[in-house]
Amino acid sequence: MRLSIRHNTSYHYDDQVRASIQYLRLTPHDSTRQQILDWQLDLPRPVRAQRDPYGNILHVLTLDEPHESIVIGAQGLVDIDESSDAEHESQSALPFLRFTRLTEADAALREFAWKQCAQRRDRNALIDLMHGLNDHIRYQPGATAVETSAAEAFAGRQGVCQDHAHAFLACARSLSIPARYVSGYLVTDSQDHLASHAWAEAWLDGAWYSFDVTNCLARPERHLKLAIGLDYLDACPVRGMRRGGGSERMMARVDVEPLIQVQAQ
């Protein structure tokens, strides 16, 4: 499947911002299941690409002069191999056993993971866990915030894709299974779910397998990966800091359009 992606984010401030810095993980990279045909960023000034500790392509946009708005754009064409079930990597998966504040497994999450999986540590067990979390945490936009932890979303029984991914990571890591957060895009016809998306991957049998709790999908056939990390803070597409500016209004629009089916040669 060939995808056309347009992602535009704008920030408008009530007062002048004296200085700001934006960490942008808005550029996907080639892998065994996605080939980047064309990709470009539209930024207020040229920025050089670098790699973060997880191998994500990172751009750091620094604005030292006063400004009242920031507009960030990304667009490109990507081929997705829908037949690929997993991704093989040479890097160790062990760092993804580590809990973070957003993915700490409390007693309730540990008990839930055990009830769903018991002694099983295979893909079918994690598929059961995925479905169980989807039933337990109802998809409800606005119910949580970016700082909401997995334990808080699990206790409140509602959240969004970020919360679903965090809860899955907490459960998987409590079972000693390496798992990581993924940000990216999703091809969807649903108006309830944004094209900008988050899901989880778990390390099983020497490969990374996808688990999209929000959509109960255990194959990444409609997913384009942007970045990975221990949690949302490591992998979110846009994350920034500023001095001044007062209140902020953020608007984001993401369009993901399938263009053609690409046949393997």
User: Does the predicted model carry a pTM greater than 0.85?
Assistant: yes
Residue-wise pLDDT for 54-65, tens only, equals 999 999 999 999
CA distance 117 to 25: 33
CB-count exposure of residue 118 (10 Å: 0-12, 13-18, 19+): exposed
Tell whether the model's pLDDT for residue 192 goes beyond 70. Answer: no
Across all residues in the chain, what is the average pLDDT?
A: 93
Domains 2-81+238-259 and 86-234 are alike in CATH topology: no
Identify the pLDDT of residue 265: 47
CATH 2.60.40.2250 is right for the domain spanning 2-81+238-259 = yes
Query: Structural domain boundaries of the chain?
Result: 2-81+238-259, 86-234
Mean pLDDT of 179-198: 81
Report, in angstroms and rounded to the nearest whole number, the Rg of the chain calculated over CA atoms.
19
- CATH code 3.10.620.30 for 86-234: yes
- Give me the pLDDT at residue 188, please: 76
Assess whether pLDDT exceeds 70 at residue 146. Answer: yes
| pLDDT for the residue 39 | 97
**In whole angstroms, what is the distance from residue 234 CA to residue 56 CA?**
10
